[in-house]
Each structure stands twice: as structure tokens, then as C-alpha cells.
Chain A
């Protein structure tokens, strides 16, 4: 069938590819309006999905490319979020524009990345995971307690009334009608988030197929050999931590602006594990796999939340199992099935697939 089409020169592979790209682009552009017709809540969910995809792409640099298991990644998200909140809210009465704060947030998160990376350079696998897990918790606990003696983070109450993104009088939080279309706040955020996500995908892809990306791969495969080949493993690993952390910092800033309220509760360990699950479910090291994993894990739970309750009502006349419980049940089942049937992820990278089908372990 496809060969026939190709013969007729209607759908050459190149054309088919462009057609696909155009279709996806149109879908993505139209999506928020379709979603808002169901309910603005869904646009917000889409925004959070994009944000988490962005985060997962950042973590993919550390875990997928460089092979450094990081269980405290959400700390960088927190650092970015608090950097934004402190510099654009009534808390310190600072109101810097977002295009100034986002780079600052990235930079601060990047510094934290190096801070975490430097002492853990000699650690691998489980040991690294434990230290990064501790790091994530330390950051959260600091945020929770830095309200005394000087009130910096406002403790568990969090920071509220955070400024939205705005250019002069054009604010991303207000509703607006442009050429007959109603742009709500979340819809406007959707487009800026989408643009940033595309940028993140390009950065990920380009890093992967570069000299630095190869060095990360080499370290993941065999650190001793990588060093013997002249790769400064210290620098290259720190670079992975710093890059991943910067992504987290930017995502955190966007999160703060969209939510207009943040508190340490948003940055708990489960969130780190969620982002890691997105990377693993999709396929570590494969950019498109990570995107797929993040979108699935962001949307499916929400879909369940909106369907499980009505379904039970109509079947049994009352709600027997809470949606949250079913969510975790399905999530656990999905993880078990994954490990059994697709250990390298839904869309695994070729290299990772080989690693996980290794016939027998080689000595380290």
C-alpha cells in the first residue's frame, strides 16, 4: 500500500515526513482551543504536561545521556521556582521582568547542579542515587525552614501573588480577544511553554549528537576507558549536572509564574520519582521517547481522575474505589509491565536497548 503510493509519487518519504510534521504542528497549535472547549482546566493540565516534559528532557541529559542516576532532580525545579518567586512577588517587593529572572533561575540552578555534582563525582549507580535523593530532601527542608531568623522563603506557607509573565502591559494571566479568538491566560502560557519546549527538544537533540554527547556516552559505557581516551570525566560529568539543572531551573521559574503560588510541598520526593519515571517509561536517552513518556504520565492520571468516578457511579451507583487509589494501582501495574516487557522504555534508544539486553555482564 505504502509502496504503491510511493510509486505514484504522491507520498515520497520526504513528503510524508513533512506532511506529518505539518499535521503535528497544526494539532499543537489548535490543541488549547479544543481543550478549552472541554474546560479551561484541561488547558492548565496541558501546560503542566509541557512543563513536566521540559523537566524530563533536562533529567534525560543527566540520566539518559551521562548515565548518572539522579533522584533529587526536583530540587533544581524548586531552586528555579523560588528564584522566580523571590524576584517577582510582593514578598521582597521585587518585580523583575521574566526574561531577566528565567536566565537567573537557570544560572542559580546550574550552580546548585555543580554543587551537587562536585562531591558526588566518584559515585555511581545506587550510591549516587542515595546522595542525590538526600540532596533533594535537603533543599526542600531548607525551603521549609528558611523563614527564621530572616524570612527568606516564608516557610511552609510558601510564596503567593507571584507575578505572571508580562511584556509591558501585555500580561499572560489576563484574558484577551485577538482577531475574534478568545485567548485565556492559560492559552497564552500554552504557546510560550510550547515554544520553550521546542527549544528544549532542539537543545537535547543537538547535544546528543555532538562531541559532548559522545563524551557522555563514553562515560556511561566505560569510565576508565573514557579517561584513557583523554576525556576529562570530572568536567564532562559536571557539565551534565549543570545542563540538567539549568533545564530544571527554567521549568521551575515557569511553574512559579503559571501557578502564582509555590510552597515546599510542590517539591517532594515523589515529584522527582515522577519525572524519573517519565524518562524511564519513554526510553532513557531517546529524546522522543522521553517526550512520549512525559506526555503519557501527565495526561493519563488526569484522564483517570475525570473518568473513574463517573464510570463507577454509572456502574455501581456509587464510588467504590477512589480515583487516586486506582491511579496509583495502574501506575504500579504499568511499571511492573514495563520492566517485564519493555525494560528500555516505550521508545528506547538503540544504545540503551543493547545495554539492557546485554547477554552477560562485563566486569567493570
Chain B
């Protein structure tokens, strides 16, 4: 088969009378950083929620690593190897940073009730491995010093990093990031870019929603532009950037939208 890790075909999603996604289709290749851009309300986060099983969709669907994702629950999709972050950060706010990442290991570990009660050797070894891996991941995203801090008290940028560490803990093949640079300053964004390049170099494919065009242009191999739920352009950032339809969606679209 081709290098496509994720294939999306003819995806429709309606909210009542609103067509939030219409006939959206794209492929993401292994090892790629694939951008998803578009004006506010274009359907980017809806697409994420459909992909990760939070929303059911009306037609079309996803095939991931050769397997259809239709009808799977979010936890099953995470188990297949898709991990995500949220636009409005959704950490386990009152737990420590370390605990957050350790929870991410849930899907790749097995200890059950009886293992926990009897504290068998296998369980103890697994626990130690979970903690070790979680610490490594905190180190990887650069917030190891914050391991024991309460998640919601971390600075904003660190919370975004922690969400990435937690997602990486599930050993994803595809890491889906919903506006990871939102609210970051220029330095933090630069560090984020380095981190994402490293994640890709270490073999994880990335799907990225982002409004920071500098970041998108510098990081993504290809981007898909959504507008009112339809894909209006796809290709390398430079080409897409000069596409008249994209320019209209971002600039002229605002005027048209106001008139409508």
C-alpha cells in the first residue's frame, strides 16, 4: 500500500441544519506533518472530534493504518494509535504533571484490579515502568522539573507541553494537535516547533490545527484549508498560500460573510 497512514473520504457532519463538514477528504502520509487551517468556524475542531470518535458523523469516514475507524469509541481509537490534545487545554488539572502522563500510559499497560490488590511482581514492575516512561516523556517535552507540580498551576506554555507529553504516553502513530501554539509567545512557539520536529523525527506522524501561519508554513509538509466545512485547497504551504480561494476565504471571505 501507499504511505498513507490516515485516509479520510467524503466526510459529512451535520449539526441540525448546519453542514459543519461537507465531503472532506484527504490523506496523511507516514512521517508527515500535516496542517489543517482555515478561518474560525471552518470545521477544523469538528474534524478532530470526528476523527477521535467524540462526534459521530453522517457519512464518509476514516481509515487508519488500513483499518476503518467507523463506529469506534474514543478509547478504542486511542488504542489504535491516535492521540490528541485539546484547543482549550483539558489536562487532569488537580493531578500532578507526572500523574497526567502516567494516566496516558493506561492504554498500553494491563494491570487490573486483582493485580493491584495482590500487588504481584508483574504489577510492581509495570508500575515502575510506567513511572519511568512518564518521567522520560516529561524530560522529552522539557518540563521534567515540573513533574510534581499540580497541572493547573503550571504556566500556560508548560500546560500545552504537558498535554503533548500525555498524548505521547499513549504511543500514538498519529499525534493530533489542536492549536498547540495558541497563547504562546514567540520564544515558546519556537521551542514548540523544535519539539514537534523532534517528535516527527522520532517517527510519529503529526496532524496540526494552527492559526499561527508562520509556524504552519515553517513546519508543515502539506496543509489542507477548510472553509465553511469544505476543503478549498490542499498542498505544500507555499502553494496554498498563494491560492486565490484561500486568500478569499481569509480576507475576502470576511467581507462576504459579513454581508451574508
Contact = CB atoms under 8 A, between A and B. Distances in A.
Instruction: Identify whether the interface residues of A are mostly helix, strand, loop, or mixed.
Output: helix
- Pairs of residues from A and B, 8 with the lowest C-beta to C-beta distance, nearest first: A230-B107, A230-B78, A210-B116, A221-B92, A227-B74, A225-B90, A354-B94, A211-B111
Nearest to A229: B104
A231 B75 contact: yes
Interface string B54-97: 10000000000000000001111011000110101011111100
Interface of A: 202-203, 206-207, 210-215, 217-218, 221-222, 224-233, 239, 243, 351, 354-355, 358, 362-363
A142 to B, nearest CB: 29
Interface string B193-229: 0000000000000000000000000000000000000
6 contacts: A207-B113, A211-B109, A227-B73, A229-B75, A229-B170, A230-B83
B151 to A, nearest CB: 9
Contacts of A217: 92, 95, 99, 103
A351 B119 contact: no
A207 B126 CA distance: 15
Contacts of A202: 117
Interface residues of B, number: 45
Contacts of A221: 92-95
Nearest to A225: B90
B164 to A, nearest CB: 13
A229 B54 CA distance: 12
Contacts of A239: 113
Given A207-B113, A211-B109, A229 B94 contact: no
A229 B91 CA distance: 11
Given A210-B127, A211-B127, A351-B95, A229 B113 contact: no
B113 A243 contact: yes
B94 A207 contact: no
B42 interface: no
Given A210-B123, A211-B106, A215-B106, A228 B54 contact: yes
B150 interface: yes
B113 A222 contact: no
Contact of A227 (B75, B111, B117): B75
A229 B152 CA distance: 18
A233 B75 contact: yes
B44 interface: no
Contacts of B152: 354
A99 B43 CA distance: 60
